[in-house]
Amino acid sequence: MREILAPGKFACGWGDGMSDTPTPESQKQPPGDKGIQGKAREFLFNSMSESLDFDDREQTCELECLPYGVHQQGEGMCLLLRMGKHRILLDCGLADITPLIEGVVKSARPGQSPLPANFVLVSHAHPDHAQGLKSLHELYPLLPIYGSEVTSRLLPLNWLDETDKSKTQFCQALPLRSPIELEDGLIVELFPAGHLPGAVAFLITYISPQKKYRLLYTGDFFLSNSRLVEGLRLEELRGIELDVLIIEGTYGSSRHPHRRNQENQLAERINRAIEDGYSVLMPTPALGLGQELLMLLRSHHYFTGRNLDIWVDGSVAIGCDVYLELLPHLPASVQNFARHQPLFWDERVRPRVRRLPPENRGTVGRNPCIVLTDVNSDLQAYLQEDTGPWLILAPQKIESRVYQQSPCLVQVETYLLAQHSDCPGTTQLIHNLRPQHVIFVHGAPEYLADLTSLEELQNRYHVHSPASGTLVELPVGDNFLQPSAPETNYEGELTELGSMVTITLPEAIAADPRWRQFADTGLVEARWQGEELVLRGLSPRELMHQNSDRIDWSIDCCGTCRHQRGQRCWNPSSPLYNFRVTLEGYCPVFERSPNPEKNL
């Protein structure tokens, strides 16, 4: 019999080796998990009936999660979640849904048509989260599929070859920020998650006779604002008493430069290539990054007003058309931009943005230009002998077919324009929510292992990183003893300007109640402490004493005047009366103080 931690008896955290990542020595499943051949198959095959009631097996806890795909090896996201008697499918990004339906077929009884879950929740429209939905809907047309309104309109772009458009319009839209009771005792609320228009995080609340359970599934999320999507707002989620957080870990423990720096670096590289006579070929996904790049190229100072053609091909162009239909759902800044000039297609304002006809793919690179195309397209169609030279800029973490043996000169590079949060953003969200369990998905195994091994997480939460087919039990304690969240770290930018150095910090730091005292005088003192630079705000009293040390008490000035007190002039005969004065100042009605040090 496997030992399970009883609810209400949790310690402060699990030590090393207690996450769901197998140790290199044994490669064994850790406590709390079983392989798909064990309890996971029992959970799947025996628990489903026509009404999805419990079977006769003993339930060890109210919350369980069975991953069919966690995007560790490019298999897409698909999680089966059990909360009490409810079974919820979170995303279906499987290219082949056979593993998902195997259990349903084996558990079917004569005259029954079981479903794989009570309903499906779709976080957003990217293929790695949604490409299996059409096949799932065709097999189980009665299975409800829910998402945001924008997601419901973007999903059909995953099946552009389908001629019957009604077959791709199966997603039912749910409102944002409104709790919806989809079943008795089960409430779902959607929060915008950044990353892509329509992307949401699902807050799922299960109310049992004994306890209320809350779980948050982030899908893909991004805390920072991008050009077409506002980031996830921490203030909307802060304060929720969360039991389980299922969160993506795409970038592992890496840290990224500020979003604007990423954009500037990319724009500078494209500009340099164009000036050197290169054409730039940029393979991108159909949704999200391609449209972000177009907005960057249209509005960045390197390109505004420039005599340059930007060609958009394939499904990226179709994605632009759908974005135009969704304009009321885009940020206010984007809507304002669209009032003054077209959002994408524009042959009048430079740089010109045009669709690329298929017959022109082989000739478009004869003059320097920029081409955005589908990441899965045949790039050889553009790399013809009488075109180029070409610079192929591919986004990091997205594979594209690049032909090295091309008749024209080709240079291949990658760039970073992040659509997911980095490690500081990920841990910031976790520490704000402070759940009992954290499940990491969506990332290379080594990246997720880096996250699960972070001491700041291991010491505070039960951390999991299950592989596909590994059942995770999630016992929830009533008295979870958890250390306080660590102090918030603020990332800034440092700029050297020749004669000075400036340090820029995010405005969120000013919300801290300690900021008022720190910034009272607007002056800071910097000093080295080992390898670290420490900043300290100067108080008014310190400032006055520092000034007093610099004053020559033998000269006539405001610092030695009997009417100056607290750096203000109190002489009614002076033109500076009641004004704040500098200690080095002077006026014609000066009167020397017998003890000028006492006036400070």
* For residue 52, pLDDT beyond 70: no
Q: Any residues with CB less than 8 A from the CB of 499 and at least 6 apart, and which?
A: none
pLDDT digits 0-9 by tens, 220-271: 999 999 999 999 999 999 989 999 999 999 999 999 999 999 999 999 999 9
CA torsion angle for 31, 202, 251, 485 (degrees, to 10)? -70
Per-residue pLDDT band at 44 (split at 50, 70, 90): very low
Strands 309-312 and 370-374: parallel
Query: 89 by DSSP, 3-state: which?
Result: strand
Contact 411, 392 (CB under 8 A): yes
pLDDT of 29 higher than 70: no
Which of 75, 79, 4, 6 is CA-nearest to residue 34?
4
| C-alpha distance from residue 188 to each of 179, 251, 458, 468, 531 (Å) | 6, 28, 29, 25, 48
Question: pLDDT band at 33, cuts 50/70/90?
Answer: low
Q: Are residues 346 and 310 in the same domain?
A: yes
Same domain, 533 and 546: no
Are 138 and 224 members of one domain? yes
What pLDDT score does 46 carry?
40
Domains: count for the chain: 4
Q: Report pLDDT digits (tens) over 339-348.
A: 999 999 999 9
* Residue 485 located in a structural domain: no
Residue ranges with strand state E in 380-469: 390-395, 410-415, 437-441, 462-464
Rounded to whole angstroms, the maximal C-alpha distance in the chain is 107
Q: Is the peptide bond before 389 cis (omega within 30 degrees of 0)?
A: yes
Taking only Cα atoms into account, the Rg of the chain, rounded to an integer number of angstroms, comes to 30
- Whether 151 is covered by a domain: the verdict is yes
Q: Which of 414, 419, 425 is nearest to 255 (CA)?
A: 425
Q: How confident is the model at residue 216 (pLDDT cuts 50, 70, 90)?
A: very high
Residue that finishes a domain, picked among 370, 394, 415: 415
CATH number of the domain to which 39 belongs:
3.60.15.10
**Does 328 lie in the same domain as 244?**
no
Mean confidence (pLDDT) of the chain: 84
**pLDDT (0 to 100) of residue 39:** 43
**401: Cβ–Cβ under 8 A, 6 or more apart, which residues?**
376, 378, 379
Asked if residue 16 is part of any domain, the answer here is no
Q: pLDDT at residue 58 above 80?
A: no
- % of the chain with per-residue pLDDT over 90: 59
Does residue 550 share a domain with residue 530?
no
- The domain spanning residue 349 has which CATH number? 3.40.50.10890
Q: Spell out a b/e string for 234-252, using b for 16 or more CB atoms within 10 Å of the CB, else e.
A: eeebeebebbbbbbbbbbb
373 or 14: which carries more pLDDT confidence? 373
Q: Give the pLDDT confidence of 180-202 residue by residue, as tens digits.
A: 999 999 999 999 999 999 999 99
> Is 341 part of any domain?
yes
Asked whether the predicted pLDDT for residue 130 surpasses 60, the reply is: yes
> Which of 433, 417, 44 has its CA nearest to residue 201?
433
> What is the token pair recorded at 178?
């409104």
Q: Can you give the pTM of this predicted structure?
A: 0.75
The band of 439, judged by pLDDT with boundaries at 50, 70 and 90, is: very high
Q: Which residues contact 342 (CB under 8 A, 6 or more apart)?
A: 349, 353
Task: For residues 184 and 265, state if they share a domain.
Answer: no
Proportion of the chain above pLDDT 70, given as a percent: 82
How far apart CA 575 and CA 558 sit, in angstroms, is: 13
* pLDDT value of residue 483: 56
Q: What is the mean pLDDT of residues 108-131?
A: 85
Rounded Cα–Cα distance for residues 563 and 515 (Å): 33
What whole-number distance in Å separates Cα of residue 506 and Cα of residue 490? 7
Max mean pLDDT among 189-193, 515-519, 538-542 falls in 189-193
Examine residue 95 and state whether it is found in any structural domain, yes or no: yes
Question: In terms of domains, do 131 and 180 share one?
Answer: yes
Reply yes or no on whether the pLDDT at 156 is more than 60: yes
Backbone angles phi, psi at 429, to 5 degrees: -65, -45
> If DSSP states are collapsed to H, E and C, what string results for 361-405?
CCCHHHCCCEEEEECCCCHHHCCCCCCCCEEEEEECCCCCCCCCC
Same domain for 497 and 406: no
Q: Do 285 and 326 reside in the same domain of the chain?
A: yes
Assess if residue 282 is contained within a domain: yes
pLDDT at 12: 33
Query: Where are the alpha helices (H) located in 79-232, listed in sequence order?
Result: 98-107, 127-130, 133-139, 149-154
How many of the other CB atoms lie within 10 Å of CB of 487?
A: 8
Q: What is the mean pLDDT of residues 65-94?
A: 94
E-state strands within 177-324: 180-183, 186-192, 200-207, 212-217, 244-248, 279-284, 309-312
Q: Which domain does 571 fall in, by range?
A: 541-599
Evaluate if residue 477 carries a pLDDT over 90.
no
Task: Supply the pLDDT for residue 72.
Answer: 85
Pick left, alpha or beta for residue 596 (phi over 0 → left; psi -120 to 50 → alpha; otherwise beta): alpha
Do 280 and 201 sit in the same domain of this protein? no
Is 20 inside a domain boundary? no
Cα–Cα distance between 528 and 498 in angstroms, integer? 20
d(CA 88, CA 186) in angstroms, rounded, equals: 10
Co-location of 387 and 465 in the same domain: no
Residue with tokens 């479903």: 115
Tokens of 481: 């003893």
Residue 347: inside a domain, yes or no? yes
According to DSSP, the β-strands at 309-312 and 212-217 are unpaired
Residues 6+ apart with CB under 8 A from 396: 414, 415, 416
User: pLDDT tens-digit profile of 261-305?
Assistant: 999 999 999 999 999 999 999 999 999 999 999 999 999 999 999
H/E/C letters for each residue in 159-181? HCCCCCHHHHCCCEEECECCCEE
Confidence of residue 545 (pLDDT cuts 50, 70, 90): low
Which amino acid is present at 163? Answer: T
pLDDT digits (tens, 9 = 90+) for 373-419: 999 889 999 999 889 899 999 998 765 555 454 556 789 999 999 99
364 backbone dihedrals φ, ψ, rounded to 5°: -70, -25
Same domain assignment for residues 244 and 340: no
* Whether residue 330 has pLDDT greater than 70: yes
